[in-house]
Amino acid sequence: MALRIKSPEVEKLVDELTAMTGESKTEAIRRALIERRERLSLQHVRHERGRDFLRYLEEEVWPKTPPDELGRCLSREEEDELLGYGDDLA
């Protein structure tokens, strides 16, 4: 299948890319498309991972958390203690 580029901007971008890489126009476009496909695939994986983590929190963690603790912000001292910060630590 032949591909015709009708955009002067795209032509200019391809020319700049081929000048930088020494690749043919076809190779430069092929690599650019592969790289974009890979970036988009990673976004999809990250989105699924985030959804899985949220499901874990909703089904496993939050139901076991005492109601008076849900939504409560930690104090600075509590954060420091959890992270192992403080004057009493050597």
Residue 76 lies in a domain: no
77 within some domain: no
Nearest to 25, CA basis, from 10, 12, 11, 14: 14
**Whole-number pLDDT of residue 18:** 95
Q: Which pLDDT value is given to residue 32?
A: 94
Residue 79 lies in a domain: no
Q: What is the pTM of this model?
A: 0.50
**Position 31 in a domain:** yes
Q: For the chain, what percent of residues have pLDDT higher than 70? A: 96
Give the single-character DSSP code of 65.
S
Q: Are 5 and 14 in contact (CB under 8 A)?
A: yes
Query: Would the pLDDT of 90 be above 80?
Result: no
Residue 41 lies in a domain: yes
- Whether residue 89 is contained in a domain is answered as no
- Domain membership of residue 56 (yes or no) is yes
Does the structure show a pLDDT above 60 at 51?
A: yes
Instruction: Give the structural domain span for 51.
Output: 14-64
Name which of 14-28, 34-48, 53-67, 68-82 the model is least confident about.
34-48
Domain membership flag for residue 90: no
- Is the separation of the CB atoms in 20 and 32 below 8 Å? no
Residue 43's pLDDT is: 79
Question: How many domains does the chain fold into?
Answer: 1
